[in-house]
């Protein structure tokens, strides 16, 4: 199940490409917000990926009979 979710997660957003395509200028202040939000989304995606990897490891240990025996 965790592997399926990992497969469906989008790749990290290319912040440099977004900055190039939507440069931050005085008249386009929303472009600054866009780049900031893409950065936050990348952090969140990294946390989700790490959590899913840890969950997968825990399930494998539990199924193999970890410290508490097989689940």
Could you give the CA distance from residue 15 to residue 21 in angstroms, rounded to a whole number?
Answer: 10
Q: Which helix (H) or strand (E) holds 36?
A: helix 29-63
For the stretch 13-53, pLDDT in tens is 999 999 999 999 889 999 999 999 999 999 999 999 999 99
Q: Is residue 12 part of a domain?
A: yes
Query: Number of structural domains, the chain?
Result: 1
**Pairwise pLDDT comparison (69 vs 59), residue with the higher score:** 59
Q: Is residue 69 part of a domain?
A: no
38 in Cβ contact with 15 (< 8 Å) = yes
Q: Is residue 36 part of a domain?
A: yes
Q: Is residue 68 part of a domain?
A: no
For the stretch 24-35, pLDDT in tens is 988 999 999 999
6-41 burial string, b = 16+ CB within 10 Å, else e?
eeeeeeebeeeebeeeeeeeeeeeebeebbeebeee
**Full residue range of the structural domain in which residue 57 is found:** 3-63
- Tokens 């970890």 correspond to 66
């Amino acid at each position: 199940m965790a592997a399926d979710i990992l497969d469906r997660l989008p790749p990290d957003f290319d912040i440099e490409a977004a900055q190039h395509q939507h440069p931050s200028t005085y008249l386009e202040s929303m472009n600054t917000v866009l780049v900031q939000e893409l950065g936050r989304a990348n952090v969140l995606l990294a946390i989700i990926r790490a959590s899913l990897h840890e969950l997968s490891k825990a399930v494998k240990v539990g199924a193999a009979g970890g410290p508490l025996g097989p689940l």
